[in-house]
Structure 1
Amino acid sequence: MYGMLLESVQHFVQLEYGEEVWRKVLALSGCKFTVFNTHQVYPDSIMASLASALAITTSNSYESFMKFFGKCFVRFFSNYGYDATIKATGRYFTDFLDNVDNIHSQFRLSYPKMKSPSMYLTDVDENGCILVYRSQRQGFTHYVMGQLEQIAKEIYNLKLSTSIVDEQTSTAPTGKTLYIVNLRLNFDNTQYVETKKLTKATNLRLNSRLPGFSCDLLFELFPFAILFDPAMTVVACGGKLLELAGGCKEQLLRQPLDNMFKLRRPKGIAFTWKNVSMYK
């Protein structure tokens, strides 16, 4: 992990628990670093060791300190202006949750060695949602829960409670183990749901008044577009996409979609019609 995460831990432990406790924690955890550099990469185990040492020192739980560390990071990254990136995702907290993977992609330009998790929403209702958290790191679930709770409070003025619904493991195509956690996020999501309903109703009214148009026009406007059916077979595509295939229609049309394309986000889910329809 990058040093900025550990910088935030050091800053707020020193601020809220004092320098003496921080020194005890460093010694107890066996951490050889006394300061952390923002863009330097450190072993993931350091944060877990610091949380364990704090738990022993203060007689609190390891999970509570991992959650505290997550909150520390959110409080800390405002110094870098990253809160503006979150606010740009939309008016509602759910808009942010829908765009976490996109935010990580933007940050990867500045932090190219970042190993970010993948998150996506499943059930969304007036009282919150289910967030699926997938990561190659084990033991960071409460850290993420702390981040989410602090973002909801600090940026969206929401009271958020988080709980683990279930946990499981899976094997990624690379052979690495994926840790998958379903989190229930409870918060006031009424405005988001009502806005979505209103937008959908408005779009339906507008669509009923608009004249139809041909696929040729669609592909002229969007030359890299691709049209596929529920069997995940390519039905048609734009001219520029066809050029990339060497101008040979047989290489694309009526071929299985996953012969030429792969689903990049959300990470780790099957490239099926059901999933594409659900997460579009």
Structure 2
Amino acid sequence: MYGLIIDHIATYIKEKYGESTWAEVKFVSGVTEDTFQMDKKFSEGLSHKLIWGCHDVTGDPVDELMNNIGTSFYKFLTKYEFNKVLRVLGRTFPQFLNGLDNLHEYLRFTFPKLKPPSFYCEHESRTGLTLHYRSKRRGFLHYVQGQIRNIAEELFQTEVVIELLDIEHDMNLEHIIMRLHFNNLDFNRQGTAYRNLNDSILEKVKITSDIFFDIFPFIIVFNRGMRIRNIGIGLLRVMAGIVGKKINKTFLLMRPFIRFRWEEVHVYLDGYLCLTEERHRMGDVEREKFLSLKGQMFYMEEWESICYVGIPVMSHLPQMYKSGLFINDFALHDSSRDLVLASTQQAAELKLLLHQEAQKSRNMRENMNRLKKERRRTDKLLYQMLPKSVANLLRNGESAVACCERFDSVTILFTDIVEFTKMCSSLTPLEVIEFLQVIYTNFDKIIDVHGVYKVETIGDAYMVVSGAPTKTEHDAEFILDCASQFLVEAGKMVNMSAKIPKIDIRAGVHSGSVVAGVVGLSMPRYCLFGETVFVANKMEQNSVPMKVLVSETTHNKIEESDPGLYQFEMREEIEIRDEQTIQTFFVVSRHGPPRVPSPRNCESRQDDSRNEEDDDDDLIFPGVSRRLITQLGHDLQKAGRKSPTSEAEDELKKKGQLSFTPVSDTGIERHSRNSNRTHSQDITPRNSLT
């Protein structure tokens, strides 16, 4: 199937449903191309893949889609100016239908390996006609019906009602018989005028058979027994030995798709027929030596024979030369002389145009790929500054004030490097930057695993939050897991340099409500405001090296949601402000492995690990890269669970690869809760201070 039809289907989906739906349809159909070159051949089943993919994504019935796509075909042809050919195909709607086979033969010059259907009309009356549609492809009934209705309305201002009479399958063909009901105003008028003109000519004009065969040099006369009685002077020069042979043994009937027998051909009189010399088991080079004829058949009552008035089909001059024909073999009145000469030049021009079109298509694909690459880079930079959900709101035109949101339940963690000022006094500025770069890079990797969001760093202070901008009921648990991992990582950083033998950090945690939003026009940042931020900072200031100090609020939140999950050590109360005190606790250990957050909780890393092969990842896990899901899968498998990728693949298989639902949060959290009691994990580093 040529790209013209595939491009039509793709164009309809894009215009009707939008680019995002087209991307989903491509994913479901397994299609990677964005553009389809008009003269390029594609898989025969690709059109049905796209139609069914559109059905799966949009929910629209397949028959309705096929009908609507067929209805848009005439408008689509304006893109290649083929609509101009349709306008001159017939004076009336029945003539247009009878000329469709001739149109398809004309299109063979552009599409040499075209496999077009065949159309034949019969039983024409004032109220309509019967249309026979034969095709080697199946499943295009509603597509053709949509084309017929739309062309009748666009070109002939006629409303057509189509009644399906029968569907047959023979000779590897689908034969569909339809009755087209419409107001055929020209039926009686044309018949009467033709009969009157015909009678007048018969009375005044008489011609001999010799003149008849000279006028039509490629005519073939055969009788009821299908034997050739005579041929025109043009055929006589190249095929003199065929007289007396059976025409259905000498030629193949290429169009229409009927049996080459007297009874069926006689019914098809006044229709378009295409004959080709019998050439089974021949190569392409040998086939060019043989003739193909197209023309029309008439029944000659005086001769009791059928006359096939045809002309050779020549795609280029070399083919004419190989077949043994020359320009002077054509009648002077035959425009084929000019067409054959002009076809070589037109073919060269068309080849140049198609080459330019292909080059434009390649350039467009390259530009689109570069655009996607730059878009990923800018998105990555943007999402490092702002949460993805907030950045998308700002990109869509929302104001900074509109992006502000209150979060009733978040947990905030502050960490600080012990004696950082003293360390800096012994380091150069460049060494300080390198020192912080190593620490913060390791911390950034940890928050990627635990689904918390990094708010900011000020000097040696590191601030993260869980529960904002993505809400979760496990914010306190995620923060404590992250803080504990910070301590473990800091304990590993020994002998970084002669001036820094080891690193100790303090951590403080508090839970409560905050207001979050974007502040500033230049270098905008996502900030948190409220009493919770102040208290969390106080927790860090009152903590001790290599310990996590939590407030009573956070302690109670953990105990209420999952009692016994953490082991705490009660400490003294600390003063917050103006003699206001708060009970505090040290985190001692955790029972079981850390909870793994679902992908939708991983706001801080949604695009950080995206690479150039991740273009279609958002169709499976919106906003989360495939590399991230794979990493989460490894972590889950260590806990004896299936990875999110495996769960998604299983779900896709169950639903026929038609679902784009992300991995269930509930499923992940249920498995994680069941594995939380397996063993006790001591989170106090080996070199912690008591």
TM range (shorter): 0.7 to 0.9
Cα deviations by residue, 1:140-179 (Å, 9 ceiling, x for unpaired):
12111111122112222221222321111112xxxxx211
TM-score (normalised: structure 2):
0.37
Change (3 A) 1:216 1:56: same
Distance 2:148 2:38 in 1: 22
CA offset at residue 270 of structure 1? Answer: 2.8
Matched residue, 1:267:
257
Matched residue, 1:213:
207
- Which structure 1 residue ranges, 4+ long, deviate > 6 Å from structure 2? none
CA offset at residue 20 of structure 1? Answer: 2.5
State the identity %: 26
Contact 1:130 1:184 in 2 (8 A): yes
Cα deviations by residue, 1:191-240 (Å, 9 ceiling, x for unpaired):
2x124312332233313422433322322333332333333333333344
User: Bigger radius of gyration, 1 or 2?
Assistant: 2
Matched residue, 1:174:
none
Matched residue, 2:49:
49
Contact 1:71 1:146 in 2 (8 A): yes
Distance 1:129 1:89 in 2: 18
More strand by share: 2
Matched residue, 1:77:
77
Give the secondary-structure state (helix, strand or coil) at the position aligned to 1:264: strand
Change (3 A) 1:100 1:211: closer
Cα deviations by residue, 1:20-48 (Å, 9 ceiling, x for unpaired):
22222222233232332222222232221
1:257 aligned onto 2:247: yes
Matched residue, 1:11:
11
Contact 2:68 2:143 in 1 (8 A): yes
Summarize the alignment of residues 121-270 of structure 1 with structure 2, pairs less than 5 Å apart.
Answer: 121-171=121-171, 177-191=172-186, 193-246=187-240, 251-253=242-244, 255-270=245-260
Name which of structure 1's ranges 199-208 and 160-169 shifts more when overlaid on structure 2: 199-208
Distance 2:11 2:239 in 1: 53
CA offset at residue 104 of structure 1? Answer: 0.8
CA offset at residue 115 of structure 1? Answer: 1.7
Q: Higher RCO, 1 or 2 (CA under 8 Å, sep at least 6)?
A: 1
Contact 2:219 2:232 in 1 (8 A): yes
- AA at the equivalent of 1:97: L
- AA at the equivalent of 2:164: I
- AA at the equivalent of 1:179: E
- AA at the equivalent of 2:248: D
Distance 1:229 1:123 in 2: 25
Matched residue, 2:94:
94
- AA at the equivalent of 1:264: M
Aligned Cα RMSD in Å?
2.2
The unaligned stretches of length 5 or more in structure 1 are 172-176
CA offset at residue 62 of structure 1? Answer: 0.7
CA offset at residue 77 of structure 1? Answer: 0.6
Matched residue, 2:109:
109
Give the secondary-structure state (helix, strand or coil) at the position aligned to 2:33: coil
Contact 1:9 1:72 in 2 (8 A): no
Distance 1:8 1:220 in 2: 46
Change (3 A) 1:233 1:4: closer
Cα deviations by residue, 1:221-264 (Å, 9 ceiling, x for unpaired):
33332333333333333344333334x6xx514x4332433433
Distance 2:37 2:129 in 1: 36
The unaligned stretches of length 5 or more in structure 2 are 271-690
- AA at the equivalent of 1:162: I
